[in-house]
Amino acid sequence: MWLLSKNVLPEDKKEEMMQQYIIGNWKMNGTKAEAQKLASGFLKRIQEAERPLPKIVLCPSYPYLTTVFDILKNSPIEMGAQDVFPEKSGPYTGDVSAIQLTDVGCKYVIVGHSERRLHHKEDCALIRKKNDVAIKAGLRPILCIGESAEERKSGKALHVISSQLKSDLPESFSPHEMIIAYEPLWAIGTGHLPSHEEIEEVMGLIKHELSLHVSGGGLVPILYGGSVTAENALGLLELPHVDGLLVGGASLKLDDFWDVINASQR
Ligand code: PEP
């Protein structure tokens, strides 16, 4: 069980949290030149935009963080990393700390993505520690949770989501310090999405659980992720409980991601 946060939500954060979030997870794709081209392309579109935009966050691979930050640093587009190691420094070959990520301009970090849970055997204890360390360093975790196809078929989806939430979240946090992404494993990169009713049911559950356990928890942004495209984004972003989207494949295509951004409703 998490503790009630004693932090009061700052007024300026409330407004920011009412925006929708469109977050691009580039995963392990592309070259430096491609990262530069994509980031510059988004920047140009942002500068030419004629309507208020949602909060946009790009998450490149580690080697391109500095390259992308140099392009975005004076713009409203923010940057996140795709993972973080839960120690401050030391003999951890190949790992990257939260402080190092903030040092190169990251404000967000994806934590507990199902690809890391699968390929790196990340468990709840590690994920909780990563969330905790990230928040302490001033990074905002985007915690990914979601059920497998089997769990969905056997009617266990809500139970799985609820227990992941309880075991992955840090003991104490303030609502503006976290983002949750509901990403059903069977929807990632497959072209198969849950129905709008199924998404709303899960989002509603997450919001309810957060509001029970964290003061102001109903304000924590909850994103949907999994096979988002330029075509389905509007329908998803119109759902009352959806505060934004975590986008994989479509975030690598300038026009598609721009259409997703323009589908935002707040
Ligand atoms: C993801 O892996 O976070 C994701 C949402 O991927 P895709 O959009 O490609 O399904």
Q: Mind listing the pLDDT tens digit for each residue in 151-201?
A: 999 999 999 999 999 999 998 899 999 999 999 999 999 999 999 999 999
As to burial, measured by CB atoms within 10 angstroms (0-12 exposed, 13-18 middle, 19+ buried), residue 177 is buried
Cβ 145 vs Cβ 112: under 8 Å: yes
Q: What domains can be seen in the chain, in order of their start residue?
A: 18-45+54-254 (3.20.20.70)
Catalytic residue among 151, 177, 183, 209: 183
Around ligand 1, the residues with Cβ closer than 6 Å are 25, 183, 188-189, 225-228, 246-249
Burial state string for 95-127 with b = 16 or more CB within 10 A and e = fewer than 16: ebbbebbbebbbebbbbbbbbbbeeeebeeebb
How confident is the prediction for the chain on average, in pLDDT?
Answer: 93
Per DSSP, 175 falls in state G
User: Which one from 113, 151, 176, 209 is the annotated catalytic residue?
Assistant: 113
- Specify burial of residue 254 (Cβ count, 10 A radius: 0-12, 13-18, 19+): middle
- Average pLDDT of 210-214? 86
Distance 4 CA to ligand 1 centre (A): 32
What Å distances lie between residue 18 and 54, 116, 122, CA to CA? 10, 29, 31
Q: Over the stretch 27-61, which tens digit does the pLDDT of each residue have?
A: 999 999 999 999 999 999 999 998 889 999 999 99
How many angstroms does the Cα of residue 163 sit away from the middle of ligand 1?
22
Expressed in angstroms and rounded, the spacing between residue 140 Cα and the centre of ligand 1 is 19
Dist. CA 134–CA 14, nearest whole Å: 21
Tell me, yes or no, if the pTM score tops 0.75. Answer: yes
Confidence check: pLDDT of 14 > 80: no
**Tokens for 257?**
């991601």
Structure confidence at residue 17 (pLDDT): 67
Whether residue 84 contacts residue 94, with contact meaning beta carbons closer than 8 Å, is answered with no
